[in-house]
Amino acid sequence: MKKTINLKSFNIVLAAVLVLGILTSGCASDKDSAGQQGADGKEAYKIGAVLEVSGNSSSLGVPERDTLQMLVDNLNAAGGIDGHPVDLTILDCKSDETEAVLAVKTLIEKDVLAVLGCASSGPSMAMINTVQKEKVPMISMAAASSIVEPVSDRHWVFKTAQSDIVTVSNIISYLQEKGLTKVAFLYMNNAYGDGGKKAFTAAAEENNIEVVVEEKFEASDKDMTPQLTRVKASRAQATVVWAIPPSASILTKNYRDLGIAAPLIHSHGVGNQKFIELAGSAADGVILPIGKLTVARQIPDSDPQKTVLQGYIDDFTGKYNNMPDSFGGYAWDAFYLLVNAIEKAGPDRAAVRDALEHTQGFIGISGVFNISPGDHNGLDKESMVMVQVEDGRWKLLD
């Protein structure tokens, strides 16, 4: 495949430093798979991933890295894609937007067919201009709707995590069912929090739910007591929070310490065991919409995702002796959506993009994907369920 860009010398030097750092820290699979050939001497298909293996969002990126490494090993052991092994390179963006841009440029210079990543919204947004300019398919595993909207400006960009709008829709339905019409809303001061705020504010107004207090905090904050003190003094009947660990866990501890009785509802950004580990017993009672993976054994056998979910759980626990989480599930979806597209399109970036855009009825971990030219996520409200943390475990709500 013909290379599509020529990086300036400055960027090449920086990118080389980045790659060296990742390889020496053991965060790339490139060392193991580079230069592979299939049993018939077929050349490897190169794909890349940019993940938050370190930094504030590492609780999202690490399970995605582990999942991708497991999947590519399994795929290559089974013969790859039509006899072509897959050469996967994973780079750590350190939860930093600038590092993410450098990493994706490095992968494009390696002539990858497509890029997976990032796990969080800010670094994903930062990479969009590069992949759009270089015409490289990208599948983000983050939540912000703006990653794939407007679609007219995101021709090469797709994503697997349920969008803010889908998550908000489930929270609004829950509030309505419980007759809760006055809420407090707190969010991280970054792309993920901003996306949640925008989606929730619009949906609340449309559904006659009043936001009586709104507060924000930084992802690196260690104490949200001042913001929560104002929440406690308000008329809020419930509190909705848009954040990821560790700040989401700290806020949850602060919430319990202040003795706020109103229900605490989080977004799907806390959908991993790390949130519960960091929050401890304070996590009990937290309510959130999430994909079905965390409660796979509690959903009916008739659910179309049941078999796929159980297969992923068995594979992951067999390899890592640990349960997978929703973020690993986003990686599972991104990997197999891409593999399916390459199987149909072959090693051609434009053809792979077209195949992704016409994916219909794909049963994944995060839901049943129906991607179209007007929807580069393809998941609807039914892809999520409401759960509550009970004794440190996820419980499916009726």
Lowest mean pLDDT of 22-26, 195-199, 203-207, 218-222, name the range.
22-26
pLDDT of res. 15:
42
pLDDT of res. 38:
65
Which residues does 301 contact at the CB level (< 8 Å), separation at least 6? Answer: none
* Confidence category of residue 41, pLDDT binned at 50, 70, 90: confident
Q: How far is CA 287 from the centre of its chain?
A: 19
H helices of the chain, in order, are 9-24, 30-33, 58-77, 97-109, 121-134, 164-178, 191-206, 225-232, 247-257, 273-279, 306-320, 326-345, 349-357
For a pLDDT cut of 70, what percent of the chain falls above it?
A: 90
pLDDT digits over 156-181, tens only? 999 999 999 999 999 999 999 999 99
- For residue 10, pLDDT beyond 70: no
Q: What share of the chain is helix, strand, coil (3-state, %, to 5)?
A: 50, 15, 35
- Residues paired with residue 385 on neighbouring β-strands, in sequence order: 290
- For residue 267, pLDDT beyond 60: yes
- pLDDT averaged over the chain? 91
Rounded mean pLDDT, 228-233: 98
* Confidence category of residue 36, pLDDT binned at 50, 70, 90: low
Look at residue 187 and give its three-state secondary structure.
strand
pLDDT of res. 30:
41
pLDDT of res. 332:
98
Residues 354 and 347 sit within 8 Å (Cβ to Cβ): no
Residue with more model confidence, 37 or 243: 243
* Confidence category of residue 39, pLDDT binned at 50, 70, 90: low
> Nearest 5°: phi and psi at 375?
-150, 105
- Residues paired with residue 386 on neighbouring β-strands, in sequence order: 289
